[in-house]
Chains A and B, each alone.
Chain A
Amino acid sequence: MATLTLDGVRKSYANTPVIHGVSIDIADGEFVTLVGPSGCGKSTLLRMIAGLETISKGEISIGDRVVNDLAPRDRDIAMVFQSYALYPHKNVAENMGYALKLAGRPKAEIERRVRAAAEILDLVPLLQRKPAHLSGGQRQRVAMGRAIVRDPKVFLFDEPLSNLDAKLRVAMRAEIKELHQRLKTTTVYVTHDQIEAMTMADRIVVMNQGVVEQAGRPLELYDRPRNLFVAGFLGSPAMNLITGTVEATGAAANLVTTDGERLPLPGLRPGLAGRKLILGIRPEHIALATADDGNSFQVRVAVTEPTGAETLVSARLGATEIVLAMRDRIEQGAGATLNLTYPAERLHLFDAETGLRLD
């Protein structure tokens, strides 16, 4: 176990920069997910930590040792690849014990440690099998077992659940989290799935185009996204983002969209009148208005999607699409009019030009 520090890390391929100076401090035992759309540089960053990609600039340290120039094998890390990367010519036990064997550990010790890891992951009956004779979930567990056996300073996961079906993914998600709680090994987990990121991590690092957009606790990011990218990326269905101009008359303020529709802006701080803003509101924070207190607005229902637990409604405010998630079942179908409202404290406001949050 150890801390992991990235300090101004940059990467370029032949003059094309892909990582533009990333600095992250990961505490001992912390579970950090790197999340972002594909091509954002998260996997490259992970591979740089592993030593599989060179570092163009900056420093990566594991514990208090700078590892920039160390080979992967000297960094004391274990990695789980998306494709699992099990050696097809070795059986499960050999796969799991290979690192120890290469390190020259005695046979008895290798056997003991492989067995211990296999017991944690329910792999004991499979130890003599070849990877070709395992299911996807089993292969995934072997890949994790191989990481555990080494007892490394840092675990690196590169989208380890992407090749599993939805149900298995949920089960493995919980399993990995439980494993981390048990082993308390510093973990960096790369995923493009924001649900995985939200549910598993102590801390999320949201990346986009080679820069860190925001880092913090999952709910902190969810509740107070620093910019439009983070706001739109975290949460499913995504946050509604509506562009408009602030119009203040007395105490009441409204956001007027380009096609003239009005949205109430309760509790707006003064001084924003006339500014172009983007209003963000999460689908689950929109509710049916019970009384017309000036803070409500009307939309026309386009599609309703009952999922059982909640109902997703896609509605139109003029030309703007608004998605809302209702806990209660609603009777209104397509074409019906809904009177909606939202609490002031759930509103997010972003500058239309910079995309940064306004407080």
Chain B
Amino acid sequence: MEQALRNPVRRPEARKAVLTDRQRFWIGRGLTYLCLVVAVIVIVFPIYWMVITSLKLPREIYRMPSLWPRVFTLENFRVLLVDKDFLRPILNSLIVSTAVTVISVLISSCAAYSMVRFRYRFKGLIGRIILFAYLTPTSLLFIPLSILMARMNLGNSLHGLILVYLTFSLPLSTWLLQGYFRGVPRELEEQGMIDGLSRFGALLRIVLPLSAPGIAAVSIFTFTGAWNELLLALVLVTSESQRTTPLALNYLITSDVLPWGPLMAGAVLSSVPLMILYFIAQHFMVQGLTAGSVKG
């Protein structure tokens, strides 16, 4: 018996198999990479096309599309930055997105913390209203919001835009952060309070550092949401000086013939800040998403 355990009998059919183990391994590997390559092409090609188009001369763009430009040019970028003053909307977008993100994280941290830790009347109801607010489609709200902003004299201004974006980002941030905060054991805060922290100190020094991945994820969602938003900006902002990037891109289209070169150059420029942000935070974000889901 012991002998049999040590030298298991080789099954004869294993030798007769059509493929050897080694061949199976390489075929498996090959298929895996094939799938990955297909996925990467699907995702990366539009970005490649955007970049390559922004570097082409107009005649090349409108002729037979080619994967590689014959002549590289920065003319599209010059048109965009000098003639169209595209840095202005980028700056506006940065102001709006950063402000929305910072305010959103600050307020939603406090809101989420109170929902997770305190007991008070109507807590469940408030929680549901927050979720409900998040689930209401933007397209239903933009008319009331634009009237509201006009009445408050906040129409056509970055302040107004920030306020409007907050109404969408706060419910989501609060909802997401609740999940992360719930993952921080209550005893840790209590220990903090025994060690000498106030309630707010415990939130600041214990809960927030431990939820850092969650906060990074929430910040990125909020920032991206504000950065890419077009519909509300289109309704609320009228003057050129207050335009955000998506709006400015939209206004590049003035006739039936699309100015593909400057449009793509604008798309490239407006993607850069997001790419940098994602690159910095990707580590946090992946960690944050899993931390929130596993800890529960």
Residues in chain A within 8 A of chain B (CB atoms):
50-52, 71-73, 77-79, 81-83, 85, 87-89, 98-99, 102-103
Contacts and interface: CB of A to CB of B under 8 A. Distances in A.
A73 B185 contact: no
Interface residues of B, number: 15
B230 interface: no
A78 B193 CA distance: 10
Contact of B193 (A52, A87, A89): A52
A85 B185 CA distance: 8
Given A79-B194, A85-B185, 15 more contacts: A51-B194, A52-B194, A72-B190, A77-B194, A79-B190, A81-B190, A82-B187, A83-B187, A85-B188, A87-B188, A87-B191, A99-B195, A99-B196, A102-B196, A103-B196
A72 B193 contact: yes
A98 B195 contact: yes
B198 interface: yes
A78 B197 contact: no
A50 B122 CA distance: 29
From B191, B193, B198, B210, name the one whose CB has the most chain A CB atoms within 10 angstroms.
B191
A182 B197 CA distance: 29
B120 to A, nearest CB: 11
A82 B191 CA distance: 12
B206 interface: yes
Nearest to A156: B194
The list of the 4 closest CB pairs from A to B, nearest first, reads A102-B196, A85-B187, A99-B195, A85-B191
Contact of B197 (A52, A81, A89, A102): A102
A81 B193 contact: no
A89 B194 contact: no
A89 B194 CA distance: 18
Nearest to B193: A72
Contact of B194 (A78, A82, A83): A78
A144 B196 CA distance: 17
A251 B125 CA distance: 73
From A50, A51, A73, name the one whose CB has the most chain B CB atoms within 10 angstroms.
A73
B194 A102 contact: no
Contacts of A83: 185, 187
Contacts of A79: 190-191, 194
B7 to A, nearest CB: 39
Contact of B187 (A71, A72, A81, A102): A81
B209 interface: yes
A82 B210 CA distance: 20
B186 to A, nearest CB: 9
Contact of B196 (A73, A81, A88): A73
Given A98-B195, A102-B197, A89 B209 contact: yes
A83 B206 CA distance: 16
Contact of A89 (B187, B190, B196, B210): B210
A72 B195 CA distance: 8
B193 A88 contact: no
A356 to B, nearest CB: 38
Nearest to A84: B187
A56 to B, nearest CB: 15
Interface string B180-204: 0000010110111111111000000
Contacts of A98: 195-196
A82 B197 CA distance: 20
A73 B189 CA distance: 12
A77 B196 CA distance: 10
